[in-house]
Chains A and B, each alone.
Chain A
Amino acid sequence: MVATGGPLSALASTSAVPTRKPLSRQQSIALVFACTLLGAAGQVLIKFGANALTRSHPWAMLTNVPLLTGYTLYGLMTLLFVYALRDEELSFVYPIISLTYVWVTALSVWFFHDTVNTFKALGVAAIVAGVFVLGKDARK
């Protein structure tokens, strides 16, 4: 950031670390929520890509467009997640991330015609609850 003249510029320049407006809680929640959607979309693309693989050679994976797009979304998700973590406790954002399990299950039905029964629904609910409880003790 270029320092501009003004009564506060001298004050601002005394700080070695550039100041940044922290995200509000709502902004952090929205960001982490976006992460869950990106992660789920990435997972669906990875499944599409994996289904299309005819060889299990790493090179076949590196030239598979849906796979690469899926992993790119994963990378984007990680960056956004780290960004959200700068202003929010990990224990607070952890439970939100477990929503990914819900989205992937729903998208599996939508795209791949998976069947969901009571056991699977209970299983996802238990995992989400588990991540929720686990995250209570997570540190920043």
Chain B
Amino acid sequence: MTTPLRSMLLMLVASFIGSFGAVFLKAGAGRVHAGLAGIRSMIFNIRLILGVGLFLLSSYFFVLGVKHGELSVLYPLVSLSYIWALLWSRLFFKEPFTKNKLAGLALILVGIAFIGMGSRVGAAPPRPASAVVQPSR
């Protein structure tokens, strides 16, 4: 079985959108109060709402991504989200890069490259007949 390049790109898009979901959840979590007031501060928290929304949007692309091709190729691409997470945590939350983070990042990239090498990239499946616009007579 082959895995369409389009599916791999959809996984990339899903992981990218999802990583911003995590950024907003993190930003929103910092504004959650303790105790009973906490529930209110969670519901009316625009950052948390955006975070959840981005996660939902990311799942949409994720489902489209795994639809065609091998799961053993597509699922490991989820680990791309670690890379975005590292970049955004440095950019938005000033968390420093450490040796371990960079080494882990390098290993994950090597792993993704290996999986790419182990997969057979195929063409995207044909669109269903209903999606093809029929020429008018």
Partner of A61, one of B63, B106, B118: B63
Known contacts: A123-B118, A127-B76. The answer to whether A115 contacts B1 by CB under 8 A is: yes
- When distances are taken between beta carbons in the complex, the residues of chain A under 8 Å from B30 are none
- A123→B108 CA distance, assembly (Å): 8
Which residues of chain A are near B107, meaning CB under 8 Å?
126-127, 129-130, 133
Dominant secondary structure of chain A at its interface with chain B: helix
Nearest neighbor of B70 in chain A, beta-carbon distance: A114
Contacts of B111 in A (CB 8 A): 122-130
Interface size on B, residues (CB 8 A): 38
Q: Are B118 and A47 in contact (CB under 8 A)?
A: no
- Taken together as a complex, chains A and B put the C-alpha atoms of A47 and B3 apart, in Å, by 14
Q: Which residues in A have some Cβ–Cβ distance to B below 8 Å?
A: 43-44, 46-47, 49-51, 53-54, 56, 58, 61, 67, 71, 101, 104-105, 107-109, 112-137
Residue contacts A-B, CB under 8 angstroms, 12 given: A44-B71, A71-B59, A119-B117, A123-B112, A127-B107, A127-B111, A129-B111, A130-B104, A130-B106, A134-B104, A134-B105, A135-B104
